[in-house]
Amino acid sequence: MASDEPKAKKPKLSASEDEKRESPTKKSPAKLSANSLFGMGNPLLDISAVVDKDFLDKYSLKPNDQILAEDKHKALFDELVKKFKVEYHAGGATQNSIKIAQWMIQEPHNVGTFFGCIGKDKFGEILKQKAKETHVDAHYYEQDEEPTGTCAACITGDNRSLVANLAAANCYKKEKHLDLEENWKLVEKARVYYIAGFFLTVSVESILKVAKHASENNKLFCMNLSAPFICQFFKDSLMQVMPYIDVLFGNETEATAFAKEQDFETEDIQEIAKKAQALPKVNKKRQRIVVFTQGKDDTVMGSSDKIETFPVLKIDPKDIVDTNGAGDAFVGGFLSGLVQEKPLDQCVKAAHYSANVIIRRAGCTFPEKPDFK
C-alpha cells in the first residue's frame, strides 16, 4: 500500500493502492467480489438485556465492567435468557469488525468471510443465523466438547456489565478447519486479512499460516493489539506475527503498553507509531501502516515516512450510549475502505464514521444502511 514499488504487475491491490495515493481521482473503488475480506477470531453470541441491581449483586458484577466468566458466573447466561427480555447479536471483536465492514460495503453480500469455533448447541445455531443476517460468510468449526462462546451484556441505565465466556472460541484447531481444502480456498480468495490480537491466545499457528500466505502473495495482513494484556502476556506470540503485519491497529492504552514491553522508552503516541512501523518486516514491498485511536482525541497514522493525525467526528457526550464497540467499528470502517482500495485518508474517514454510528447505540449494532459518502 505504501510500497516503494513502481506500478508493478502484482496482485491488483498493491499496484492500484499505490497509484491511488498519488492520484485518488484516477479510478473508482475496486470491484468487489465475495470473500475479498477475511477475518478469523473468537466468535461470541452477544446476549444483552436490561437487568436489575439484584441480578448484578447476585453475580458480584459491577455496573460498568468487562470480565471473563468464572465458575460463579456459569448459571448467569441461562438465568439472563429465562428471566429477562434478551437480544442476540453475532459478536466477538474480529467478527464485529467484519460485519461492520460488510455493513459499510452493503453490496455485494458476503464480501467478508469469518472463521472461528462454536459449539453444536442452541446458541451456536442462533449465532449462525445472526451472522447470516449481517451478510457475512461465516464458516465455523463446530465441536461438541465446549459450548458456544457467549458475552452477556447486563444493562442497568446507561451502564453495561460485560461477562464473556470464551468456551468454544478457545477450541479452534488449524488442522481441523483452516487446513481443510474447501476452507483454505476461501482464505486464498481474500485480498485483505484481519485478525484481532485476542486470537493470539487461541491459535498462533493458524494466524501464522494466514499471515505468511498474505505476505508471500503481497496481500494485506492487518492485526489489532486488542488489549494491554495481549501486549504483556502474549508478547512472544505477538512478536512472532509482527513481521507479517502490514496494518497494525490499537488504541492509546494498548499502544502505551506495547511501547513499554518493547522498551521504546516513550509514551508519545506518534513516536510509538513511528517505532512500531520500523519493526522488522518480511514483505519489503509494503511499508507497515500503524493506526492508533485515542478516544475523542485525534487518530494517529504512520504511513510511508510520515505521521499524520486525523480529528474524530464531534459528538455531544449525551448522545453517547455505549463505547464498547467503538474500536471494532473503527477497524471495520477502515477495512471497508482498504478492501475497496481507497486512499488511506478515506479509510480513516470511513473508520471514524463507523465508530461514530456505533457509540450512539447499545452494543455493536447499526441502522439498516450507512449514510456515508
Residues recognised as catalytic: 328
C-alpha cell, 188: 486464498
Q: Is 255 left (phi over 0), alpha (psi -120 to 50) or beta?
A: alpha
* 359 Cβ contact list (under 8 Å, min separation 6): 315, 320, 321, 322, 323, 325, 326, 329
Task: Tell me how far apart the alpha carbons of residues 98 and 138 are, in angstroms, rounded to a whole number.
Answer: 10
Under 8 Å between Cβ of 136 and 102: yes
